[in-house]
């Protein structure tokens, strides 16, 4: 399928995309006027995000609330306790975080991150939006967030992961490199992945156009 670029990326100018990122993250980064969702990327009560890369923590459940979702109590207990071993094994099997643009083949069932999304979505009250936000929290360079706003902007309501991978890889990774350049121009740290830059630009575009469910328009 063909993915549609956000209107802010559909021209040769990066000015509108940079403005959207600056509005979301503020300038300087995480200033007083930043959206609450801007804190999703770096939130840590322990200061040890790198050491927690292969296990879900309570901080991850807090971080997704900055993107306007709540993990129900039964699912939270499963993620942190009763099903933690199985879920964390899938997380570990993904391997270290890496850029989605570098995945050479289409992704499908059997790929650990795909299977992790499936396992998370089997929990009560966890759908596509919450599961992708949880995985994106642990592998921000690799796994794209899906919600009704972003999917309407990109035209990815049915399939999201592979269309995003394909558009990032097209023309020798031209879009990926453009997103990295936009990130730099917006004054953001490299810890904000190119994939997250794409997500925020798409979400800001959709929010401004009134797309998606109201519950997804506030993050």
Provide the domain count of the chain: 1
Question: Would you say residue 216 has pLDDT above 70?
Answer: yes
What angle (nearest 5°) sits at the alpha carbon of residue 103, between those of residues 102 and 107?
160
pLDDT(80) > 70: yes
Residue 116, domain member (yes or no):
yes
pTM: predicted TM-score of the whole model, two decimal places: 0.97
Choice among 31-40, 44-53, 104-113 with the minimum mean pLDDT: 44-53
Q: Contact at 8 Å (CB) between 65 and 116?
A: no
Average confidence (pLDDT) over 76-89:
99
Residue 210's pLDDT band (cuts 50, 70, 90): very high
Please indicate, yes or no, if residue 66 is contained in any of the structural domains.
yes
Q: What is the SS3 assignment for 99-152?
A: CHHHCCCCCCCCCHHHHHHHHHHCCCCCCHHHHHHHHHHHCCCCCCCCCHHHHH
Q: Which domain holds residue 111?
A: 7-216
- Domain presence at residue 2: no
In this prediction, residue 219 has a pLDDT band, given cuts at 50, 70 and 90, of: confident
Q: Who has greater pLDDT, 60 or 47?
A: 60
At 31 the pLDDT is: 97
Residue 128 clears pLDDT 90, i.e. is over it: yes
Q: How confident is the model at residue 1, as a pLDDT?
A: 65
Specify the pLDDT at position 65: 98
- What integer best gives the mean pLDDT of the chain? 97
Q: Examine residue 121 and state whether it is found in any structural domain, yes or no.
A: yes
pLDDT above 90 (res 48): no
Residue 157 lies in a domain: yes
Q: Is residue 1 part of a domain?
A: no
pLDDT(135) > 90: yes
CA–CA distance from 210 to each of 155, 180, 202 (Å)?
Answer: 15, 27, 12
CA gap 2, 53 in Å, rounded:
32
Reply yes or no on whether the pLDDT at 105 is more than 80. yes
Question: For residue 14, what pLDDT is reported?
Answer: 98
Alpha carbon distances (Å) from 86 to 71, 78, 82, 92, 210: 18, 10, 9, 10, 39
Give the pLDDT band (50/70/90) at residue 217: confident
pLDDT tier for residue 211 given thresholds of 50, 70 and 90: very high
Mean pLDDT of 149-178: 98
């Amino acid at each position: 399928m063909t993915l549609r670029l956000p209107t802010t990326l559909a021209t040769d100018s990066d000015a509108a995309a940079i403005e959207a990122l600056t509005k979301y993250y503020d300038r300087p980064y995480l200033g007083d006027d930043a959206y609450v969702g801007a804190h999703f990327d770096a939130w840590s009560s322990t200061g040890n995000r790198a050491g927690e890369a292969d296990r879900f923590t309570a901080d991850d459940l807090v971080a997704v609330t900055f993107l306007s979702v709540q993990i129900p109590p039964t699912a939270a207990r499963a993620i942190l306790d009763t099903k933690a071993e199985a879920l964390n094994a899938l997380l570990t099997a993904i391997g270290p975080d890496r850029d989605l643009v570098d995945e050479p083949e289409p992704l499908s069932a059997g790929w650990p991150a795909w299977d992790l999304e499936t396992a998370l979505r089997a929990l009560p009250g966890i759908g596509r939006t919450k599961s992708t936000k949880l995985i994106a929290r642990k592998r921000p360079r690799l796994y794209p967030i899906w919600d009704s706003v972003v999917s309407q902007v990109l035209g990815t309501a049915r399939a999201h992961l592979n269309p995003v991978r394909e558009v990032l890889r097209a023309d020798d990774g031209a879009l990926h490199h453009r997103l990295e350049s936009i990130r730099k121009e917006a004054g953001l740290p490299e810890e904000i992945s190119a994939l997250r830059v794409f997500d925020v630009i798409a979400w800001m575009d959709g929010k401004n156009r009134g797309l998606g469910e109201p519950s997804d328009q506030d993050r």
